[in-house]
Amino acid sequence: MNVQYGLAEAGDYGELIDFCNYVFSHAHSPTDFPVLLPKLYRREYFTLGRHYTAREDGRIRAVVGAYPLCLNVLGTALAGRGIGMVSVHPYARSRGYMRTLMETALADMRRDGIVFGCLGGQRQRYEYFGFSPAGLRTVFECHRTNIRHVLGKDTPPVFSIRRLNEGDRELEDAYQIHQSKAARFERDRGKFFDILSSWKNRVFALSDKSGFAGYLVCNDTAIPELNLKNPALMIHAIASFLNHLDRDRVSVDVQPWETEKLEAFAAFAENCHTGTAQSFTVLDWQPLLAALLRLKTASGQVLPDGEALFRISRGDNAAEDSCFRVSVERGRAQVSPGTGAIVLDPLRAIRLFFSAPPWASPVIRNDPFLRGILPLPLFFESPDGV
């Protein structure tokens, strides 16, 4: 048997899509990737990502996809790659194909100066490759009853809601709201509708007497993204949504740095919980930590003065360790090169910097400075998932 590893080319589109549809349909439920994720798997977008393949005698037997991401935090662009479409033919498992393809994808990320990678999937499966659940998101559960008690049952809707289709003019207004956010994953304007409508989502515009007021992305029972020109009107947006779709309740994701949204939902939602955002790996710690520290202060948190020295050790090669100093002086945060007093492996470091209890490292409990600055507001919005 002849085994070959390589990158898929444009001409491999049909074969690769058929293969991955089969593997995911066999393992889970019927899957059609171009329908599920048009932002990645429309034919014209296919070559924007990297598709690492293993072939046996010319036939695809495993695939790992790596897709470009860019996290923009207060104007700082951080290059990332999302891992997806991880597929191994059921008759070709336990031959090491997934491990080889994942390791190749990660090696290319390091070569190309990528700051972080992210994916969704079973935790332990991907911790072998340096990914761990991290980041924060708060999910609010909002009931029609909550709104009735706060606004009164006879309060007329503030917003009208209309479902958007590709090419609608309101998409430009929605795009501009997205672009104005302090932190966001960059989205190509030409693919904006495909991004919002991936994962079986629908896109709605909200309008008031003045015209376009915001947009939301929903899948009936959940709203993974809701952006308004005036965040104080979140309760009215939820009231209008529930009325429009005749629902009794909906859950809404809010990111950790969105303080106005958090305050608005906390005032009326039935309950909330905080969970991890995605599984992340970090390849270049200093720029990511520096950007998220700035985002934390920009969101209104006052950071205590102090410093901590870190070494993130991969264990097998000291030359690849990351050593840096995190400091705050008079509210100004800085991440700079420095020798490491606190030594962590990459998985423990991800949990330390980006996760809330109960996964918090004991390092936090022993250091008042770190308790004052962590966790950092790493986040991920569902429509950007791969």
Domain residue extents for the chain = 3-114, 137-275, 280-373
Q: Name the 3-class secondary structure at 346.
A: helix
The reply to whether CATH 3.40.630.30 applies to domain 3-114 is yes
pLDDT at 77: 98
Evaluate if residue 238 carries a pLDDT over 80: yes
Give φ, ψ of 163 to 5 degrees.
-70, 135
3-state secondary structure of 287: helix
- Domain 280-373: top CATH class: alpha beta
> Which secondary-structure segment (H or E) carries 294?
helix 285-298
pLDDT-derived band at 311, boundaries 50, 70, 90: very high
| Cα–Cα distances in angstroms (integers) from residue 194 to residues 48, 164, 191, 277, in the given order | 14, 12, 5, 21
pTM for the predicted model, two decimal places: 0.94
CA 142 – CA 144 distance, rounded (Å): 7
Residue 17: count other Cβ atoms within 10 Å of its Cβ. Answer: 19
Mean pLDDT of the chain: 94
Model confidence at 260, pLDDT cuts 50, 70, 90, reads very high
Locate 96 and state its tokens.
Answer: 């090491």
Name the band, by pLDDT with cuts 50, 70 and 90, for residue 359. Answer: low
Give the pLDDT confidence of 342-353 residue by residue, as tens digits: 999 999 999 999
Residue 318 pLDDT greater than 80, yes or no: no
Domain spanning 137-275 has what CATH number? Answer: 3.40.630.30
Query: What local confidence, expressed as pLDDT, does residue 284 receive?
Result: 97
Q: By CB neighbour count within 10 A (0-12 exposed, 13-18 middle, 19+ buried), where does 203 fall? A: buried
For residues 333-369, one letter each, b for 16 or more C-beta atoms within 10 angstroms of the residue's C-beta and e for the rest, the string is: bbbeebebebebebebbbbbbbbbeeebbebbeebeb
**Over residues 113-139, mean pLDDT:** 95
Say how far apart CA 381 and CA 386 lie, in whole Å.
11
**Alpha carbons 23 and 36: distance in angstroms, whole number:** 15
- Whether the predicted pLDDT of 340 surpasses 90: no
Residue 175 pLDDT > 60: yes
280-373 shares the fold of 137-275 = no
| 149-164 pLDDT tens trace | 999 988 888 999 999 9
Q: Is the pLDDT of residue 358 over 70?
A: no
List pLDDT tens digits, range 93-107: 999 999 999 999 999
Tokens for 138?
């708060």
Query: Which residue is associated with the tokens 């932002």?
Result: 39
Question: CA quadruple 254, 300, 265, 169: dihedral positive or negative?
Answer: negative
* pLDDT at res. 13: 97
- 365 close to 374: Cβ distance less than 8 angstroms: no
pLDDT in tens, 13-58: 999 999 999 999 998 889 999 999 999 999 999 999 999 999 999 9
Judging by beta carbons within 10 Å of its beta carbon (0-12, 13-18, 19+), is residue 311 exposed, middle or buried? middle
Taking residues 233-241, report their average pLDDT: 96
**Residues 89, 163: Cα–Cα separation, whole Å:** 39
DSSP code per residue over 169-192: THHHHHHHHHHTSSEEE---GGGH
